[in-house]
Amino acid sequence: MSTLVVVGAQWGDEGKGKVVDVLAEEASVVARFAGGNNAGHTLVVDGRKLITHLVPSGCRYPGTRCVLGAGMVIDPEVFRAEIDELRVLGLLAQDELRVSLDAHVIFPFHRAIDGLREDRASTAERIGTTRRGVGPAYEAKAARRGVRVRDLLDVTRLRERLAKNKDALDHEMQRLGAEDQALDLEALVEQGLGWGRWLGPMACDAGELCARAIRSGEKVLFEGAQGALLDLDHGTYPYVTSSSSIAGGVCTGIGIGPTLIDEVWGITKAYTTRVGRGPFPTRLTGPAGDRLREAGAEYGATTGRPRDCGWLDLPALSRAARLSGMTGLCVTKLDVLAALPEVQICESYEDDVDPGRDGLEQAVPRLRSVPGWGDPAILEGLHAAKDRAGLPAAVRAYLDLIEEHTQVPVVLVSVGPDRAQTLRFADAFS
Ligand code: IMP
């Protein structure tokens, strides 16, 4: 058995795309289990930047099967465009992509509602979603009127599913002041059938595909989207996404049991970023935040929004490690910290606020400067290092501190955007 789950340990954007891209070389299946095109995974292939939103980051390896699981919500228009782009680049063969029959479909009306709600909400109520229709599609799923990939393959079922949405959606459009956007049932049926024609050949029982691969000894990598602190159940609710972004989401989002999971690697930046609203204890405002944003080029891969930036938050990271039962931590963007004149870290909050018990709204970080950083030689040392022992002393001490707090070994560090700028300290697959 050889399975590895890769999940975000913060508020998303931790660099999962690059890490999965590096690790996927060894896997024969890479499967995504949650989210939709709210995610944006940046890969650098031969110096060229590529952003995938739906197709798992393992797509560039010939023969690797890429699977979109039942826990995902799929916008077929975005999916089609992405497949076409990858195929033009020669990165995705015809038979390498599989989609769960039970994944839910994002229709244009989900996108419209997501955007209208954000536009109409008061500043206090706005979530700052990616406006991709992800939340409304998951709402429809929970309300048992969602449309799945399998429904696109049968006209009677599709019409029946869409009809179930009409009253609720027309009412919602009216509430949002968009009466003119009433749902045109027959036009949507046509659109859905059109999607079904090209999605059908790649639709499958994704859980069975993964379980069979695992049983026959293949290496399977499960790729998360977003991060633990955006998880619907355990994140900074209500400022969260609408799906399960922790490792447990693999079981429901793919359709396999927890006994099939061997390793869980969490990805964290060497600092913290967040996009969208919600608590962020170590957020830096003013020039300090701007400096970190510019150093790390912290702009959303999906929306282009500037990310809020702050120091590494060890209590929040420790909670994320516990939520996913992490067996390894990957620390990305160490090179960005190395470019700063000073580095700080949060090891605890004032008044012993506990992130699980008290939430993060009230958490005031106790920050301290990390010794040894701010020296220009660190960047050079990072790039020259061939292994952990060869890293600059300040960086090694930083990694030790992370391990001490989270009780999870650091198994990989990333010191630049290129896949070659990666040091691995452990095997991904046992
Ligand atoms: P939604 O997932 O579009 O509904 O957005 C809900 C919250 O999750 C917002 O704060 C988004 O900014 C955030 N979010 C969703 N996907 C990502 C991601 O891939 N990276 C970072 N933040 C995300």
List the catalytic residue out of 21, 41, 104, 110.
41
**Which of the residues in the chain have pLDDT under 70?**
1, 94
Q: Determine the pLDDT at residue 302.
A: 81
Q: Determine the pLDDT at residue 94.
A: 67
Closest ligand 1 atom number to CA of residue 13: 20
Tokens of 376: 């220009």
Residue for token pair 């602190």: 229
Burial of 125 per CB tally in 10 Å (0-12, 13-18, 19+): exposed
CA dist., res. 220 & res. 64, Å (int) = 10
CA dist., res. 185 & res. 164, Å (int) = 10
Secondary structure of residue 340 in the 3-state scheme: coil
User: Considering only CA atoms, which residue is closest to atom 5 of ligand 1?
Assistant: 129
| Cα first-last separation, the chain | 8
pLDDT tens for each residue of 235-246 = 999 999 999 999
Q: Where do the domains of the chain lie, and which CATH numbers do they carry?
A: 3-102+202-263 (3.40.440.10), 104-199 (1.10.300.10), 268-424 (3.90.170.10)
User: Considering only CA atoms, which residue is closest to atom 12 of ligand 1?
Assistant: 276
User: Ligand 1 pocket: which of 275, 302, 305 to mutate (most atoms <8 Å of CB)?
Assistant: 275
Residue 90 is given by DSSP the state T
Residue 106 is given by DSSP the state -
Burial of 262 per CB tally in 10 Å (0-12, 13-18, 19+): middle
Nearest of 224, 215, 210, 217 to residue 256 by alpha carbon: 210
Residue for token pair 């990072």: 382
Q: Is 351 a catalytic site residue? A: no
Residue 428 is given by DSSP the state S
pTM value is 0.95
Q: Determine the pLDDT at residue 430.
A: 72
Q: Determine the pLDDT at residue 1.
A: 59
Beta carbons of 41 and 294 less than 8 angstroms apart:
no
pLDDT tens for each residue of 10-44 = 999 999 989 999 999 999 999 999 999 999 887 77
Beta carbons of 76 and 37 less than 8 angstroms apart:
no
Q: Determine the pLDDT at residue 47.
A: 74
User: Ligand 1 pocket: which of 106, 111, 130 to mutate (most atoms <8 Å of CB)?
Assistant: 130
Beta carbons of 416 and 335 less than 8 angstroms apart:
yes
Tokens of 327: 């067996």
Pocket lining for ligand 1, CB < 6 angstroms: 11-13, 38-40, 127-130, 132, 134-135, 225-226, 230, 239, 241-242, 275-276
User: Considering only CA atoms, which residue is closest to atom 10 of ligand 1?
Assistant: 276
Q: Is 383 a catalytic site residue? A: no
